[in-house]
Homo-oligomer: A and B are copies of this chain.
Amino acid sequence: MGQRCPISPPSPHNRFPPPSPNPIFTHPPPGCPTGGDAPCVCVLSPNLPSPPSCPTLGIKSPPPSPPPSPSGPSSWPAAGVRPTDPGALSLARAIAEEAPEEVTLVGVYAHCGDTYGCRDVPAIQAIARATTSAVLDFVTTLRQAGVPCPQASIGSTPSCSHPVPEMAQLTELHPGNYLFYDLQQTLLGSCQPEEVAIRVLTRVIGHYPHRNQLLVDCGWAALSLHGRDQAPTGCAAIEGHPQLRLVGLTQEHGQVEAVDGRLDFERFPLGSTLALIPFHACATAAMHPVYYVHAEGKVVELWRPVRGW
């Protein structure tokens, strides 16, 4: 039997609004329909393949040179050493051989964050191909030099969502956002809207006709500020309500407006719930100590994330 969300009893004023005739997000409403201790994070029927378990230990290496991205240079930082760096081989050898009882060289990993600057799939795949090639070439160099290197891996959700055949030669993929997906990934083309598996439930707690706004009980403490200036609907999209947008967040409150014209306040009575699809699931998930996992209308598990500090 599934556990229930920390909710108040269903009432006519306390349920998901009916889907819009033209919803942005067509995923069926989750089984935790009625607010209560909103805002809470809900994970919808996680039917995606299990994500890779742990990051590969070893050298973190960025692509060797700016990959052929038509969308311009990456805004992401490079950590680790470049595989073309003259010291890369000796570093790998030192990791593998200097203190084998303490440190093991497990593999080589690169995260092609450049893909977040791409505007189409061919650009993402070009980066994925270049990154894969850089990693595999370096592993070959290591092996030829007598340094065992069992794992070869790349990350980034955009690249792993549009894999190229060359990636079959890797031993692991590490797309961290892939577990949930989010509004950002739909904008990048990594997924369809109905594949996004995370929502923040929030309740309408105020009507402000004089400024044509609803107030909801979800602020940046439940959503983060990620995406504030990047998505047309703000830090989140409002499921089933493309006519609404989140225009402001304070610590515990959000302001919702109509994209055009007057808000239909009667559709959103006080206490009714809205489901927010976050712009950046990683950032939103980091704000919550527990996730309510749904399947077929019931909460089937509670996930409590492990934190590093």
Contact = CB atoms under 8 A, between A and B. Distances in A.
Interface of A: 6, 37-40, 76-80, 113, 206, 208, 213, 215, 220-222, 224-226, 248, 250-253, 255, 282-283, 286-290, 307-309
B226 A225 contact: yes
Nearest to A287: B286
Nearest to A176: B251
A61 B294 CA distance: 38
A215 B309 contact: no
A115 to B, nearest CB: 14
Contacts of A289: 289, 307
Task: Work out how many copies of this chain go into the complex.
Answer: 2
Contacts of A6: 309
Nearest to A290: B309
Contact of A220 (B113, B221, B283, B308): B283
Nearest to A76: B250
Contact of A40 (B37, B222, B250, B309): B309
B39 A309 contact: yes
A250 B224 CA distance: 14
Nearest to A85: B210
A128 B55 CA distance: 51
Given A225-B226, A286-B287, A309 B37 contact: yes
A309 B77 contact: no
